[in-house]
Amino acid sequence: MIQTRLLQLRQQLPTGVRLCVVSKRHPAEAIQKAYDAGQRIFGENQVQELMQKVDLLPGDIEWHMIGTLQRNKVKYIAPFISMVQSVDSLPLYEELLKRATQHERRIDFLLQVHIAQEDSKAGIPREQLNEIAQVLAQRPEDRAYMRPRGLMGIATLTEDSREVEQEFAYLKSAFEELRLGLFSQEEAFDTLSMGMSQDWPLAVSLGANLIRVGSAIMGDRQY
């Protein structure tokens, strides 16, 4: 089932759009099935759960952190994480920089922007995005360890597709403004992560080039 759903979704993806399979609350065996069908990028939202799975799975998986990340847990994932999609503050950035430097490796990251109407969804408030981007843009010397790749956002969970469309359209415009502005010297600033099981086709039509799909591929989560 996992493999069929994965291959079907892949066939619908335009070239240039990457897929992060969200494997939270699914066991290593289920992740292995997706891996065997060629999937390499997986997203998890809890450090402890991720740590339990990493050693059970192939070493060439690209792990993405997609959930709220506490600074005191960065040290656990710094040795292997490929991308942190959920950077939402400068203190978190500094901690990631420190740990990446210690391990002499580079971590890619996205700035997570709060685009939803629900307060519960994490991310940098729209009004603060530019401030944070300005600080990062002035620190090219960090790039060997921390590389800004783009923006991530989670839309409101609603049947109202016009609302979701507005949120995605905002994120796309914020991304383009940074890409052509503050980060125009940075070729790697190329990733717009938006869209999940429910809304990924809309996200792709509005410019997403990385989508995060869990249940539509992996099935219902086990709690």
Ligand X SMILES: *Cc1c(COP(=O)(O)O)cnc(C)c1O
* Contact residue for ligand X among 67, 148, 150, 153 (CB under 6 A): 67
Indicate the residue among 3 and 68 with the shorter CB distance to ligand X: 68
The residue of the chain with the least Cβ separation from ligand X equals 214
* Residue 143 dihedral angles phi and psi, to the nearest 5°: -60, -25
Shortest Cβ 22–ligand X spacing (Å): 4
Query: Which 8-state DSSP code applies to residue 123?
Result: S
Nearest distance in Å: CB 41, ligand X: 12
The closest of 202, 86, 189, 191 to 155, measured between CA atoms, is 202
The answer to the question of residue 216 lying near ligand X (CB under 6 A) is yes
Q: How far, in Å, CA of 85 to CA of 3, rounded?
A: 25
Give residues 112-171 in contact with ligand X (rule: CB under 6 A): 154
Task: Give CA separation, 158 vs 43, 116, 154, in Å.
Answer: 23, 10, 12
In this complex, which beta carbon is closest to ligand X, that of residue 154 or of residue 206? 154
Tokens of 175: 């991304």
Residues 20-49: x where in contact with ligand X by CB under 6 A, - otherwise, as a string: --x-x--------------------x----
Cα–Cα–Cα angle for 161, 22, 95, nearest 5°? 105
- Residue the block writes with tokens 């717009």: 192
CB of 64 to ligand X, least distance (A): 10
Q: What residues line the site for ligand X (CB under 6 A)?
A: 22, 24, 45, 66-67, 154, 196-198, 212-216
